Structure 1
């Protein structure tokens, strides 16, 4: 099907009588903010378009990529159960700090909410829920790595906390990392921004993108999978890293 756009440049990747799959832009919420309901969010946008809509899963505000909503109670119940049973295929791209010793691996660390910092998560060996993230390094740069990530469980902030816990937080993550933006001057050694105007960042949000989402369609009786292309800021950052910041090993062979 030919993609069409909703308000706020939200691309519809797929739609049928049961589901609607979107490419969520970074900076827009999945559901209304409980303290500021006027902030734009996908749920309200879809509700205005379709009337009734059901939330199945969420993406962080600053995470871009593929997200699915249900259009009716039957579809919602079925897909929600698949998420609960970890029967949904999810693939993310993450740009992380540094280089991983093992180019493929699994992070198996229990997570729970952090009572000291509301709205965040932490590794918790005593009362945390089991959380598993699989990864494969795709490319390495001077100070960063591009990683394909498969979260086998769906805890809040799971990818962000897991990579932080093993010493490689997301390249940009103001909560679990130490950077809020990346500039070209950090990557291109001889680049000097104009003195007359401040340098604009190549990217200034989470370096995390939900690339693919796949599941068995209960009504069509077939497996369906969707992909959300990388947004311009992520593509631009990777382009500059490939041009100016390649490690000696350009790409990790599969």
Structure 2
């Protein structure tokens, strides 16, 4: 059970914007055994409507509507690509092209439920990326997605051969330890074994830009969580 008090980035009478912590479901899953962010919000608000969602392991900015009309308006804005969506992710390796648009359709695997793949008969999926920093074994990349396919960034990065770190579905799933990139790393005296610095898919929904139903423009950002910040700090120190 995740006990969490969601960090509110912005709130008005119509919608609420949260910085979702990693490891928390956006909305209830089929089994309904785990608490979700939506359920936490429903304990505080009379009604909450799902506009879009983030994968469980992905942290960052997510919007919920507080009433039906706003829900319809915002859902349509996401659907019609009227919302600018930016993510930051840590990927494996060094990308030969520092800026690129990946335009590759995605659909669900017919063999493995819940796993998405590139397929010419899939739904259109477009991701822009730009490399922000390089650390040899890893790179920090900014993404802008123009479509909202399930696992889109994760599938597209696997497709170009540089999956997100720690991604169990589309990468090697191996947690990142400091010893994997720091020479002569030694355990501290009170440690029996090294603990990973990042143990979940290294992806963060960083920024959303949209115009609301009242015509107000919003440019909202969510701070990166501690685990990704800690890894980047170590990578910069050892670069």
TM-score (norm 1): 0.90
Give the one of 128, 152, 168 matched to 1:134.
128
The structural deviation recorded for 1:163 is: 0.5
1:67 to 41, 46, 62: 62
Is 1:236 the counterpart of 2:230 in the alignment? yes
CA contact (8 A) 2:86 2:144 kept: yes
Is 2:111 the partner of 1:116? yes
In 2: Cα distance, 1:148 partner to 1:12 partner: 23
Unaligned runs of 5+ in 2: none
User: C-alpha distance in 1, partners of 2:33/2:168?
Assistant: 24
- Matched residue SS, 1:99: coil
Match of 1:249 in 2: none
Runs of 4+ in 1 over 4 A off after TM superposition: none
Give the deviation of 1:83 after TM superposition.
0.7
Deviation at 1:72, TM superposition (A): 0.4
* Separation in 1, partners of 2:46, 2:168: 36
**DSSP 3-state at the match of 2:78:** helix
TM-score, scaled to structure 2: 0.96
Match of 1:227 in 2: 221
Does the Cα contact within 8 Å between 2:177 and 2:197 map onto a contact in 1? yes
Deviation at 1:194, TM superposition (A): 4.8
CA RMSD of aligned residues (A): 1.1
Question: Which segments of 5 or more consecutive residues in structure 1 lack a partner in the other structure?
Answer: 1-6, 247-254
The whole-number CA distance in structure 1 between the counterparts of 2:201 and 2:224 is: 13
8 A contact 1:187–1:240 mirrored in 2: no
Cα shift readout 1:71-93 (whole Å, capped 9, x = no counterpart)? 00110000000111011011100
Match of 2:86 in 1: 91
Question: CA separation of 1:154/1:181 partners in 2, compared to 1, >3 Å: closer, same or farther?
Answer: same
Check whether the contact 1:185–1:193 (CA below 8 A) recurs between aligned residues.
no
After superposition, the C-alpha distances for 1:137-160 in whole angstroms (9 at most, x for unaligned) are 100002111000001100000000
Q: CA deviation at 1:108?
A: 0.4
How do 1:101-250 residues align onto structure 2 when only pairs under 5 Å count? 101-125=96-120, 127-194=121-188, 197-219=192-214, 221-244=215-238, 246=239
Contact 2:137–2:181 (CA under 8 A) maintained in structure 1 = no
